[in-house]
A and B are shown apart, each in its own frame.
Chain A
Amino acid sequence: MTLEALLFYLFAAIACGSALAVVLTDNVVRMAFWLVMSLGAVASLFFLLEADFLGATQLLIYVGGTVVLLVFGVMLTATGPYVQIKTTPAEMFLGAGVGGLLLLVLASTVMGINWENDVAHALGAESEAALAADTTVDQSGTTGRPLGLAFVGVRPDAVGPDGAATRPGYLLPFEIVSVHLLVVLIGAAYLARAKRRVEPATDLLS
């Protein structure tokens, strides 16, 4: 077994096991802990997939930002010392059944396709060679710069034989997302603001 496979199985086990623990735990704080483990393991899988920038983003925004936000939510909405809203066994049983079936469908679909050949075939004959070339390229640890260039609309990684870019840049979606974030910032601040009760106006003269 290669080292890469070993690391993959380790992180995959942590990711799946922790995700399962999120479902099975009733205590919200413990759920947050397991969510951190799961998301952290997914970040490690990103690093294994040679997406180093994405792995770092996952750590910074998901684990360091979103989960902290969730824990904040837990603290602000805690009525007792440890919030536990139990799921009834019947609901759990039903959920497990439906989830198991869904997993079965997804897994059989994934296993039923020969990705190496069928996908390349579906994408066209000329891309088969590109696929063979692409998977052998070791772009390890250097995705930050191409990603940044893609966001400003330049694609040096996808240049056709005539020198024109074969893939789109992402400048417009990038701008839309940034405006979207601003809207969300204002919206969240508006929704979560502390409500001041307006005192009924008392007539001083009467």
Chain B
Amino acid sequence: MDTVGLNSYLLVAAMLFVCGVVCMAVKRNGIGILMGVELVLNGANLNLVAFARYTVLGLDGQVMALFVIVLAAAEAAIALAIALNFYNNHLTIDVDRGSELQG
């Protein structure tokens, strides 16, 4: 309890990851799903940075995390544009409505 090691950070990251996955799975709101994706990416980021701090991997983990942040921002922009298009076509953001391609 007294010293914070790699374990503690990995547990927090696992918690964030699981919350994100569950959020992606259960939310029907398109933007809610996006938020789940952000949580998942943050969990992964926390892992990378924790490994960068506590193992010999050093700076490389942080570089990876920076790339993840940049790509997450890009992903959010595109996904939001898609969500707006979805809204224009269906007049709702409920992703369960987008089932036209279902056979």
Chain A residues near B (Cβ < 8 Å) = 1-2, 4-5, 8, 12, 15-16, 19-20, 22-23, 28, 31-32, 35, 38-39, 42, 45-46, 49-51, 53-54, 57-58, 61-62, 65-67, 69-70, 72-74, 76-77, 79, 83, 85, 87, 91-92, 94-96, 98-99, 102-103, 106-107, 110-111, 115-116, 119-120, 123, 127, 130-131, 134-135, 143, 146-147, 150-151, 155, 157-158, 167, 170, 173, 177, 180-181, 184-185, 187-189, 191-192, 195
Inter-subunit contact A42/B70 (CB<8 Å): no
CB within 8 Å for A123 and B16 given contacts A23-B26, A87-B28: no
Inter-subunit contact A150/B11 (CB<8 Å): no
Count of chain B residues near A, Cβ 8 A: 74
CB within 8 Å for A12 and B93 given contacts A35-B38, A77-B31: no
CB within 8 Å for A42 and B91 given contacts A99-B21, A130-B56: no
A175 to chain B, nearest CB (A): 12
CB within 8 Å for A1 and B2 given contacts A61-B70, A62-B69, A103-B15: yes
Inter-subunit contact A157/B8 (CB<8 Å): no
Residue of B nearest to A127 (CB): B56
Among B2, B9, B84, the residue within 8 A (CB) of A45 is B9
A59 to chain B, nearest CB (A): 10
Inter-subunit contact B56/A120 (CB<8 Å): yes
Report how far A157 CA is from B58 CA in the complex, Å.
9
Report how far A119 CA is from B53 CA in the complex, Å.
13
Inter-subunit contact A191/B2 (CB<8 Å): no
List chain A residues, Cβ under 8 A from B36: 22-23
List chain A residues, Cβ under 8 A from B78: 184, 187-188, 191
CB within 8 Å for A111 and B12 given contacts A167-B60, A191-B78: no
A–B pairs, 28, beta carbons within 8 Å = A16-B15, A19-B16, A19-B19, A22-B39, A23-B36, A50-B53, A51-B62, A58-B69, A62-B42, A66-B76, A70-B34, A70-B76, A73-B80, A76-B87, A77-B83, A77-B87, A85-B93, A87-B26, A95-B26, A99-B21, A115-B6, A123-B55, A134-B55, A134-B56, A155-B59, A167-B60, A188-B77, A188-B81
User: Which B residues from 68 to 103 make CB contacts under 8 A with A?
Assistant: 69-74, 76-78, 80-85, 87-88, 91-94
